[in-house]
Amino acid sequence: MDFRLTDDQRALRQGIRNLLEGRFGRQALRAAVDRADGKGGTHGRSGTDGRSGTHGKGGTGGKRPVGARVLDRELWRELGAAGFFALRLPEADGGVGQGLPEAVLAFEEAGRVLLPGPLIATHLAAGAVAGAATGEVVVTSPDGSLVEWLDEADIVRGDVSGAEPLASVDPLTPLHRLPASAAPRTGSGALRDPWAAGGPGGRPMPDGPGGHPEPDAPGGLASPSCGDTLLTSLLTAAEQLGSAARTCGTAVQHARTREQFGQPIGAFQAVQHLCADMLVRVEVARVAVYAAAVTADPADIAAARLLADEAAVRGARDCLQVYGGMGFTWESDVHLHLKRAWTRTHRAGGATRSEEALADDLVAGSA
């Protein structure tokens, strides 16, 4: 057993970090926020030309949510060229042939820089939807009662009829809400079934961790599968981890330099302890996420998700606290991390489902 990252994994992480920091650094992030926010920062919904011709996108009502038209297509293609979407696709199919641990490292980096877009849906579509792997095509899919990036996607996997835009709290994640009648959506209960099916010990992920999706049938696009729900949860956890690590680092950096009462605020124990607890949450979430990527065990994934969601949300809040009044401004990036973290907590079932699944796991096979 050696849980540490291999040299190849370190190199991969560094490569992606370099790409993202070069191509989607702070300036690019702020520019994207400004584009999404519109002049004056009003949160009204503007009209849209009602894009058409893509599959399954009827009924969006001609309105578009705040934040649309901000997806950088060129960056998306660059991500494709770098193998971000095809990372787990076998080499024989034109992919990079890596596994879940590598995907988790890549999504952690995406989370660090708050990379916008339906990254996970497109990643999961690589191999099933033509053009997804290369970043030519942007793919989204409904998740629970929400759809991210509906207006900007070229392809939607799953049924989104009746979707209505909502004013998304995250300026960089446009959202649509699906009608209540559409529920239960794809994957609902998916986390629980694998538990019930397997005994204690070996509970393989339904689609297999390394498995890549079957191409969607010619006549229509398949809804994401049960395994996709688990993968969405794991990759979301990885993004949350990246965001949590970033806000922890940002808070520490600020605490070192901002002075009050004649010394850096980081010398005050109240601030030190906030930061120390942030780090503990990050490190505990990190090992949980990495381990879940290795085992692909549904209970490990649920645990990773629960801890990473918490590390991201509480990390952003504590970072805001360390930043003081500056943290409450639009100019600081802290709120962007918090809002994205909130948005991610809604994916693939929230904390309730993870906790229930983990509770079931405790008594699996014994009752």
Partner 1 sequence: MDLTYTPEEEEFRARLRAWLAGVLPALPPKPSPDDWPARRAYDLGWQRRLYDAGYAGLHWPVDAGGRGATPTQHLIYLEETEKAGAPYVGANFVGLLHAGPTIASEGSAEQRARWLPPVLRGEEVWCQGFSEPGAGSDLAALRTRAWRDGDDYVVSGSKIWTSHAEVADWCELLVRTDPGARKHRGITWLAMPMDAPGITVRPLRTLAGSTEFAEVFLDEVRVPVANRVGAENDGWRVTMVTLSYERGTAFVGEVVACRRVLAEVAREARKNGRWDDVVLRRRLGRLNAEFRALWRLTQWNVSEAQGTGGVPGVGGSVFKLGYSHARQELFDAAAEVLGPEALDLGREWTLDRLSSLSYTIAAGTSQIQRNIVAERILGLPRGR
Among 167, 196, 287, 326, binds partner 1 (CB under 8 A): 287
Among 258, 272, 317, 321, binds partner 1 (CB under 8 A): 272
Nearer to partner 1, 66 or 248 (CB): 248
Among 92, 180, 217, 362, binds partner 1 (CB under 8 A): 362
Nearer to partner 1, 111 or 266 (CB): 266
Nearer to partner 1, 239 or 300 (CB): 300
Q: Can residue 306 be called a binding residue for partner 1 (CB under 8 A)?
A: yes
Q: Can residue 191 be called a binding residue for partner 1 (CB under 8 A)?
A: no
- What is the C-alpha to C-alpha distance for residues 9 and 118, in angstroms, rounded to an integer? 24
CA atoms within 13 A on the CB side of 105: 21
- What is the C-alpha to C-alpha distance for residues 20 and 301, in angstroms, rounded to an integer? 26
Q: Can residue 3 be called a binding residue for partner 1 (CB under 8 A)?
A: yes
Among 192, 277, 321, 346, binds partner 1 (CB under 8 A): 277
Q: Can residue 202 be called a binding residue for partner 1 (CB under 8 A)?
A: no
- What is the C-alpha to C-alpha distance for residues 148 and 163, in angstroms, rounded to an integer? 11
Omega prior to 101 cis, within 30 of 0: no
Judged by CB under 8 A, how many residues of this single chain contact partner 1? 55
- What is the C-alpha to C-alpha distance for residues 330 and 326, in angstroms, rounded to an integer? 9
Q: Can residue 101 be called a binding residue for partner 1 (CB under 8 A)?
A: yes
Among 27, 184, 269, 331, binds partner 1 (CB under 8 A): 269
The residue among 69, 65, 72, 70 whose CA lies nearest residue 175 is 65
Would you call 149 helix, strand, or coil by DSSP?
A: coil
Select the span of 48-56, 89-97, 160-168, 282-290 touching partner 1 (CB under 8 A): 282-290
User: CA dist 134 to 75, 86, 119, 265, 323, Å?
Assistant: 11, 7, 12, 47, 40
Among 162, 284, 314, 321, binds partner 1 (CB under 8 A): 284
Select the span of 16-24, 31-39, 189-197, 350-358 touching partner 1 (CB under 8 A): 350-358
Q: How far is the CB of 327 from partner 1 (least distance, A)?
A: 18
Residues listed for the chain:
367
Nearer to partner 1, 123 or 286 (CB): 286
Structure tokens at 343: 């948005």
Structure tokens at 92: 């024989």
Please list, residue by residue across 123-133, b when 16 or more beta carbons sit within 10 angstroms of its beta carbon and e when fewer do: bbbbbbbebbb
Nearer to partner 1, 128 or 278 (CB): 278
Q: Can residue 13 be called a binding residue for partner 1 (CB under 8 A)?
A: no
- The pairing of strands 155-156 and 139-140 is parallel
Q: Please report where in the chains the tokens 């926020």 appear, as a residue.
A: 33
Q: Identity (one letter) of the amino acid at 189?
A: G
- What is the C-alpha to C-alpha distance for residues 220 and 229, in angstroms, rounded to an integer? 20
Among 89, 156, 299, 312, binds partner 1 (CB under 8 A): 299
Quick count: other Cβ atoms within 10 Å of Cβ 11? 11
Nearby residues of 83 by Cβ (< 8 Å), 6 or more positions away: 95, 96
Q: Can residue 258 be called a binding residue for partner 1 (CB under 8 A)?
A: no
Q: Can residue 93 be called a binding residue for partner 1 (CB under 8 A)?
A: no
Among 302, 313, 338, 348, binds partner 1 (CB under 8 A): 302
Among 55, 222, 268, 317, binds partner 1 (CB under 8 A): 268
Q: How far is the CB of 281 from partner 1 (least distance, A)?
A: 9
Q: Which residues bind to partner 1, rule: CB under 8 A? A: 1-6, 9, 101, 252, 255-256, 263-264, 266-269, 271-273, 275-277, 279-280, 283-285, 287-288, 290-291, 293-295, 299-300, 302-304, 306-307, 352, 354-363, 366-367
